[in-house]
Amino acid sequence: IKPEMAPADYMPDVKKELVTISSDAVLEPVAHNMNLGAEWGKKYFGGQHLQEAETLKLLRKRCVFSSEPQAPVIEIRVYSNDSTEVMPLAHAILESYMDYRMKFDAPRSGSNTMLGVSVIQNASPHYLARLKSVNILVGAILGAGLGFAAAGLIKFARFIIRRFSPRAIHAQ
């Protein structure tokens, strides 16, 4: 999201926008419209419907809202074990934020247009697919390395036990 420059008297403070985008005012409609309390309750809590506060807490844990210093750009990142829900969640957060901003900006501008928000890049699941492949590859390499290390330690321990056992010492 890029809060763009609008009239001369209006320049969004990106830090304030980060607080706004992670606020209940923006995230509650997302949780409600996507029925996250019921959906996540089924998936992760044995079918128990989550209360709104629990749902928002879980949603916040899955989101990272950030910006670069001196750049009026806000990045929305959503993490999930279910890759099919990442893009819809990110887009729902964006839409809710834009709706919130529309309500805030329309009275200021005297029109029904939203000041200063544009999408500069849409969410993409391809990054997640690549990340998953990299995680699998790194996991396989580390697993093989740990396996070889464990085998070496076992072999070394057997050598030490045979070398310094009482029977080995008496045999010499």
Mean pLDDT of 59-78: 85
Any idea what DSSP says for residue 70?
T
Our CA dihedral for 39, 40, 45, 48, rounded to 10 degrees, sits at: -40
State the pLDDT at residue 8.
41
Mean pLDDT of 112-131: 57
Mean pLDDT of 136-150: 86
Q: How confident is the model at residue 85 (pLDDT cuts 50, 70, 90)?
A: confident
| 123 three-state secondary structure | coil
Kindly give the pairing relationship between strand 2-3 and strand 117-118.
Answer: antiparallel
